[in-house]
A and B are shown apart, each in its own frame.
Chain A
C-alpha cells in the first residue's frame, strides 16, 4: 500500500510538511503526525458531504449540470458584468491564484483575498512601517522569549508551538519550553494563555496603548507611563518591557486580536516600530499567524503579478490599489459589484450582513469542494478537487516559505486551476464571438 511521506497539510498557515499518509484503493486510511484539524481535513474527504456536481440555479433551485454548461453559464455572467468582484482564493494553490489574477485582469474585475477580513491590516501596517520578520526556524533555534498576542494557536494552529515556537528545540534552544519564556497578551484567558509563563490580560481594543507604552519604556521614557495601561498595572508593563529588552531573541506572534480590533492597522504599525526599537537592545522579529493555509501565497503571487497584495482593481486595465475603496467589503457595502466569483473561501459565512445581502442580489459563481453558506446564494456552483489532497500545487507558509503540496488521491472533480483556466478560455471565446 502506498505510504506518502512528507505530505504538506493544507489546513492552516503552519503548513506542516511532515505528514505521513497511507492510501489504499484511492482512499486515505491512515494519517500520521497531523493535528486534529489537519486530520479532520484529510479524512474529511470521506466524512463530509461534497458538492457532488456542477450546479446552476434555475427557478430558485440549484440543479445539476455538466462542467461545460456551468462554465458557459459562468462565462456569460462574467462577460455581461460591468463590475465583477473576485474574492477568496486562499484555500487553494498559487497556480490557481495566478490564473485568477489573469482572469481578473482580462475581465477588468476587482480581486481580493480573505485578508480583507483577516490580516489585511497587517499588510497596511507593513506598508507603513515594514515587516521585520524571520522564518519559523529562526524562532525554533534562537527565541528565548515568545509572545502570542491576540492569537490562540492551541486551537487555531495546533502544532505551531511544538514545531516552531514554545515547545520546539533547536541549536541554541536545546531545553525547549524550559529554556523559554512564553507570554500571552489577550483579552481573555485562552487555552494558549493557560500554557504561558505569564498572561497579560488587556482591555478589549487597547492593544495600541500597550504597544505604545512598551515602546516608551524600551526607549527610556518610563516616566510618561500612567499608573495603568490597557488595564494593566504600570509595574507589570515595565516588567514586560524589561523581559523583552533582556531577551536574547524575541518573537511576537500576532493574530486577528491585533489586526481586527480597535485601531486595526495602527496596532501592527506600532508593533513593527516596537520591534525596530527592541533591536537596539536585543534581536526581535514579528510574525503574523495567518489562518488559511495559502492566504500568504495569495499575497505573494498577487504582489509579484500586480504589485499589490490584495484589493486589486483592474477596471482601468492596470492594477489599482486603494484598500478602503477596493477591498471586497468596501465594494459590497457600496453595492457596487453586479456579479461575483467566490472561490476557496466563504463570504456567505464571514462577511457582514450588508455585504452578504448584496451578494444575494447579484449573480454569484462559486468554486469550492464543500457546500457552505456561500452556496446558498450562488447561481453557478463548481465542485473542485481538494488542493493538497486531490490536487497538487504551491502554498506559502505564514513566514513566506513556499512548499509543494502533493496530490495524494485521484478525484473525479476538476481542480481549481483547471476550472479557472476553462473559464478564462470560454470568456475569451465569447468575447471574440462578440
Chain B
C-alpha cells in the first residue's frame, strides 16, 4: 500500500471548477483519495501549478508512424527541441532515444511524460494491421494508450449502409473494435479510401463511392447511428472530406450540421471533428487561399452537439501521415516530396509524406494562424481539444511552444511580425487579443478529453480518479503568461513532477521510472442472433476477398499490455 501526499499544490482542475487554488492532494494505491495516513510520502509542490496528467486525444504514435520513421531516417538526428528530441544514449533507467517528428517508441513515452502527459489516443488503427499498432503500444513506456479503429471506407460497412442493415452494421462495428482492440470509431475522408483504391477521391458529402452506391454522408450517418446504438464511450471521430483543399470549410460545416440530428447515447458529444485547421480553408485555389476559421468558429459557437481538435501547425519540419490516401499523393506531387502509400484491402487507404512549414510561405503562415484562430474564436474551451495532430501539424514536443501562442498575444505578434503582407491579408489572427489562462489550457489539454472519451478517471483530480498528475514549475499568482511566455514554455517542457498511477515517473524534467501503461479497448455487446448473421457475411469476405484468415485477423490477448476492457451494452 503506497501513499503520497502532495502538499501546497496550486491546483487547476476544471472538472471540479477549481481554478488555481492551493490545496493538498492525497494518493493511495495509484488513485486520488480524500485522505492519507501520516505515513504517506510527502511531495511539497511549493505552490506550483498542478494539473491532472495531460491527455493527447489525437496523435499518430503507433502503427503508421513507423512508415514515417522508415522513410525519414534523417528525422532521427533532428534535435530542434533540446531535451525533447534528437539522439539520447541509453541510461540505467531509459532505453536509447532518437527522433523529433517520428521518435522511437521509447522516446514517445518518455517525452510525453516529461510534458506532464500520461494518456494518448492513437488516431488511426487499420483493422487488418491492428496487431502492429498494439506491438508498438507495448514498447511505449509509462503512458496509458487507446486507439481509434478505421471504418470509413470499409466494404462491409458500406454494404450494410447501402443495404439498410443497421443492426448488422452495429454488430460489425462491435466485432471490428474487438478484432482490433480499438476504443472508438474513426472515419477518415468517408468513402475516399475506397475511391483511392482506383486512384480517385470523393469530392464531398454527396459524391457516391465508386462501386458501392453509398455517399460519404450516408457512411457518416450510418456509423453515427451504430456508434450511439452501441453506446460507445467516444462519439464518431471524423476527419472530413476534402481535407487540405481551399474552400473546404464549407464541407466541414456541412458535415457538422449533418450531426445535429444525431442523439448521443451518453453524456458526451455526438461528433468529434479532428484537426479542423486542415479543414477550415476558404478561397477557391492556392492563389486566393485564406482562412475559413471565422466561419467554422461561428458555426461551432452556435452548436452544442460537437467537439473538435485543432491540428495546430508548428513551423519547421513535420511528417504528414493519414488514412487519407489521396491527400498524401497530392501532397507528394505538389511538394515534389517522397511518397509512401499503404492501402489496406477491403478497409482503407493511407499515406505518409514529410513536409516543411515555413513562416515565409503565405499558405503555411495562414495555416498556422487558422489553428490559433479556431482556438481563440471558439468561446467555450470545453468544445476544444488541443492537438497538433502530431506529427502532421508538428511534433507533440512543441506543445509548450504552442501553449505560449494561446496564452500570449505578444508572443503571437512576435511570430506574426515575420509574415508577408499577403499572409496577413488572409488571416484574422492579428485582430484577436484573447489570451487563454491556465484554467482554459487545462480544459483543452485534459478536461475535454476526459469528457469526450467518457473516461471520468482521467484528466481530473477528483477522489477516485487515477493519480496521473503533473506539477509544473509555475507559481500561477506570480506569473503573467502574456509577458513571461518563455517561463511558461520552459515549465511545460519539463514537468517538475509527473506522476503516473501514483508513481513518480518524472522529476525535475528527467525520467525517474518507466512503468508500463494500460491499454483501453471497448467490448460492445450485441445480441448473439445478430452477431451470428453478421459473422456469416464476413465469413464470405474472408473466404473470397481477404488474404488473411479470420482466425488470424483478431488481435490476440497476448498483445495487450495491462488491458482494460470497457464493456458497453448495445441497444437493439
Contacts and interface: CB of A to CB of B under 8 A. Distances in A.
B135 A131 contact: no
Given A132-B340, A136-B547, A137-B345, A402 B89 contact: no
B154 interface: no
Contacts of A249: 197-198
B98 interface: yes
B139 interface: yes
B548 A128 contact: no
Interface in B83-130: 87-90, 95-99, 102-106, 128-129
Contacts of A102: 95
B199 interface: yes
B350 to A, nearest CB: 10
B105 A304 contact: yes
A304 B139 contact: yes
Interface string B534-553: 00000000001111110110
Contact of A321 (B73, B97, B332): B73
A105, A136, A137, A171, most chain B CB atoms within 10 A: A137
Contact of A307 (B73, B155, B197, B345): B73
B352 interface: yes
B106 A130 contact: no
Contacts of B342: 133-135, 400
Interface stretch (B63-71, B386-394, B464-472): B63-71
Nearest to A126: B71
A307 B76 contact: yes
Contacts of B97: 318
Interface string B53-78: 00000000010011101111101100
A133 B104 CA distance: 23
A25 to B, nearest CB: 25
Interface stretch (A275-283, A329-337, A345-353): A275-283
A142 interface: yes
Nearest to B72: A127
Given A128-B338, A279-B329, A306 B104 contact: yes
Interface residues of B, number: 62
B353 A130 contact: yes
A316 B32 CA distance: 42
B346 interface: yes
B457 interface: no
A71 to B, nearest CB: 23
Contacts of B88: 318
Contact of A317 (B90, B196, B344): B90
A325 interface: no
B364 interface: no
B493 to A, nearest CB: 21
A306 B67 CA distance: 13
Given A131-B70, A133-B341, A317-B96, A283 B197 contact: yes
B136 interface: yes
A127 B155 CA distance: 32
Contact of B545 (A171, A299, A317, A400): A171
Interface string A96-140: 001000100110000000000000000100111111111111101
Contact of A170 (B75, B89, B198, B545): B545
B339 interface: yes
Contact of A404 (B104, B155, B556): B556
Contacts of A308: 69, 73, 76, 98
B333 A276 contact: yes
A299 B73 CA distance: 13
Contacts of A303: 66, 69-70
A300 B132 contact: yes
Nearest to B89: A317
Contacts of B528: none
A137 B546 contact: yes
Interface string B418-461: 00000000000000000000000000000000000000000000
B517 to A, nearest CB: 16
A8 interface: yes
Contact of A130 (B103, B340, B343): B340
A89 to B, nearest CB: 16
B417 interface: no
Nearest to A316: B89
A402 B132 contact: yes
A394 interface: yes
A131 B87 contact: no
Interface in A141-189: 141-142, 163-164, 169-172
A130 B67 CA distance: 9
A314 interface: yes
B211 interface: yes
A431 to B, nearest CB: 11
A13 B341 CA distance: 20
A279 B544 CA distance: 27
B500 to A, nearest CB: 21
A163 B547 CA distance: 7
Given A137-B546, A276-B332, A131 B71 contact: yes
B433 to A, nearest CB: 42
Contact of A106 (B90, B105, B196): B90
Contact of B67 (A105, A131, A402): A131
A136 B547 CA distance: 7
B181 interface: no
B131 interface: yes
A140 B199 contact: no
Given A303-B69, A307-B73, A319-B87, A137 B95 contact: no
B552 A404 contact: yes
A307 B341 contact: no
Contacts of A376: none
A269 to B, nearest CB: 9
B71 A127 contact: yes
A403 interface: yes
A404 B554 CA distance: 10
A141 B343 contact: no
20 contacts: A18-B549, A105-B90, A106-B90, A127-B338, A130-B71, A131-B340, A135-B344, A136-B345, A137-B128, A138-B343, A276-B329, A276-B333, A283-B197, A304-B135, A305-B106, A306-B96, A307-B76, A317-B90, A321-B76, A401-B129
Identify the 4 closest CB pairs spanning chains A and B, nearest first: A137-B345, A317-B89, A283-B199, A130-B338
Given A134-B345, A137-B545, A138-B343, 4 more contacts: A127-B72, A305-B106, A307-B98, A401-B548
Interface of B: 62, 65-67, 69-73, 75-76, 87-90, 95-99, 102-106, 128-129, 131-132, 135-136, 139, 155, 196-199, 211, 329, 332-333, 337-346, 352-353, 544-549, 551-552, 556
